[in-house]
Amino acid sequence: MIQKLFKPIDNSVLIIFRIFFGIVFLFESIGALLTGWVTSNLVSPQLNFTFIGFEWLLPLMGNYMYVHFVLMAIAALGVTLGYKYRWSIVALTLIWGSVYFMQKTSYNNHYYLMWLICVIMCFLPANRYASLDVKKHPEIKAYAMPQWISLMFIFQISCVYIFATIAKFYPDWLNATVTENMFIAMKSPDFIKPLFHSQKFHYFIAYSGIAFDGLIIPALLWRRTRWFAIIASFCFHLFNSITLGIGVFPYFALCFSIFFFKPEDIKRYLLRKKPVLTPELATVNYNEYRGIFFGFFVPYLALQTLLPFRHWLIKGDVLWTEEGHRLSWRMMLRSRTGVAHFRVFDKKTKERLAFDNMELLSEKQNMRLNTPDMIWQMAQFIQQHFAKEGRDVAVYVGSSNVSINNRTGKRLIDPEVDLTEVKWDHFKHHDWILDENDPKWNVPNKQISPILLLPIHQK
């Protein structure tokens, strides 16, 4: 088994992937600047909802972020050309990682995948051919790589599709509620609206999505169905690109297809000047790659396998609590609407203080204030906001009606808990997230007794 993993194979797939990967990031960097994404998400807002624990990234926000994305474009170009590759890929990993962990308002799963591939590429010899590094240092040129490198990428994209398939087996996807909400709300030309509003179309999209996610990897692995899978992938991702507007991800996902072809075929069509791999050229330093594989990639494989399961070990429905939702390949599964509003009290005087979300948030950020982690973070931001005025405050959630997939809204957060007094745990359930089926709270906010809306510490 180990010998097979370390068997030397032609490294053309890795070289071509490096070039595609760099180009995708180059377009992502420039596109984010030109479309105003950087301005609206990282420059204009007063604050941002980081991944919890990454609040130290917030000082980067502001006009510097324009420079940040220019630097990312330069690093992406370096990766594409294979120029000072090690420095370029590490810089790209750090720069993109800081953007990814800095904000959740425009969260997308493909941002996570792009960062993971950055991390993987830091450890791989992707500049050993067709690179400026080789031109400057011919001695580093190599024509082979261990087979596990190709298998690593297949494993990573398999995780995305397998867990995406599993996540779709729940009622609102199976009865086409999710796809119905998605396409009816979508802005589309008049001539296509009858199709997008058709129930049959909603069911077709729901079940073709399950079929694609579940079958694409086996179809790519089997030689007889590989080209059919490539055509299906192209159609699937192009449709998503046009209808869902999810940026570079469809094209990034297509880049993984090259790892399912024989390296010799990739060389024949895309690197024609590269010599055919012979036993003399197929030299791989077993010891060099052994340390990388067992020291980093084996633990990485275990983490990628286990992390998406964590929400099954946490109390409650992940669609409601969101605990364990992120980093689990739960993609395009639900619509979530609702906005939390807060009641702020001076702990010393017991006085209720006036506060409106828009004092700190942009309109887009405010509309995303319907997940427990962001509501908890907002409470901490409010506490810090009043601390600047010399006030020590308690922060309660006055209203938090949240609707999943356009169902009747239900109260999400316990109004009797001061969120500044509780800690966040990434791997445990938080009891202040209410059970969506609890009859005590399963009523609109306006029907809840005013007594329950008083802070529990107020006399």
Residues 214-268: pLDDT tens digits?
999 999 999 999 999 999 999 999 998 888 888 888 999 999 999 999 999 999 9
pLDDT of residue 441: 64
Instruction: Give the model's confidence band at 334: pLDDT under 50 very low, under 70 low, under 90 confident, else very high.
Output: confident
Looking at residue 198, the DSSP 8-state letter turns out to be -
Which is more confident, 450 or 250?
A: 250
pLDDT of residue 265: 93
Residues 126-162: pLDDT tens digits?
999 999 999 999 999 999 999 999 999 999 999 999 9
DSSP string of 213-271, one letter each residue? HHHHHHHHHSGGGHHHHHHHHHHHHHHHHHHH--TTHHHHHHHGGGGGS-HHHHHHHH-
Task: State yes or no: pLDDT of 63 exceeds 80.
Answer: yes
Which is more confident, 444 or 166?
A: 166
Looking at residue 354, the DSSP 8-state letter turns out to be -
Residues 357-407: pLDDT tens digits?
999 999 999 999 999 999 999 999 999 999 999 999 999 999 999 999 999
Instruction: Give the model's confidence band at 438: pLDDT under 50 very low, under 70 low, under 90 confident, else very high.
Output: confident
Contacts of 188 (CB under 8 A, 6+ apart): 196, 243
Task: State yes or no: pLDDT of 448 exceeds 60.
Answer: no
Instruction: Give the model's confidence band at 457: pLDDT under 50 very low, under 70 low, under 90 confident, else very high.
Output: very low
**Nearest Cα to Cα of residue 197 among 209, 177, 183:** 183
327: left (phi over 0), alpha (psi -120 to 50) or beta: left
At 358, list the tokens.
């828009």
Which is more confident, 383 or 289?
A: 383
Task: State yes or no: pLDDT of 456 exceeds 50.
Answer: no
pLDDT of residue 222: 96
Residue 433 · residue 417 · CB < 8 Å: no
The dihedral built from the CA positions of residue 56, 57, 61 and 63, taken in this order, carries a sign that is positive
Most confident of 188-197, 198-207, 441-450: 198-207
The gap between the terminal CA atoms of the chain, to the nearest Å, is 70
> Which residues, listed in sequence order, are joined to residue 337 by a DSSP beta bridge?
403
What average pLDDT score do residues 81-99 get? 98
Angle CA 376–380–385, to nearest 5: 140
262: left (phi over 0), alpha (psi -120 to 50) or beta: beta
Instruction: Give the model's confidence band at 443: pLDDT under 50 very low, under 70 low, under 90 confident, else very high.
Output: low
Angle CA 123–127–132, to nearest 5: 145
At 341, list the tokens.
């509003």
Q: How far, CA to CA in Å, does 458 sit from each of 201, 322, 340?
A: 54, 31, 21
Q: How far, CA to CA in Å, does 354 sit from each of 211, 345, 397?
A: 52, 9, 14
Alpha-carbon span 459 to 10, nearest angstrom: 75
pLDDT of residue 444: 53
Task: State yes or no: pLDDT of 323 exceeds 60.
Answer: yes
Other C-beta atoms lying within 10 Å of the C-beta of residue 39 = 15
pTM of the entire structure? 0.92
Task: State yes or no: pLDDT of 296 exceeds 60.
Answer: yes
pLDDT of residue 453: 42
What average pLDDT score do residues 11-17 get? 97
Alpha-carbon span 428 to 442, nearest angstrom: 23
For residue 322, give the amino acid letter: E
pLDDT of residue 98: 97
Lowest mean pLDDT across 184-193, 222-231, 312-321: 184-193
Alpha-carbon span 102 to 232, nearest angstrom: 35
B/e letters for 351-376, b = 16+ CB within 10 Å, e = fewer, are: eebebebeebbbeebbebbbbbbbbb
Cα torsion 418, 421, 426, 429 to 10°: value is: -50
Measured in whole angstroms, the distance separating CA 116 from the mean position of its chain's CA atoms is 10
For residue 459, give the amino acid letter: K
What average pLDDT score do residues 449-453 get? 40
pLDDT of residue 440: 65
Lowest mean pLDDT across 26-30, 188-192, 386-390, 396-400: 188-192
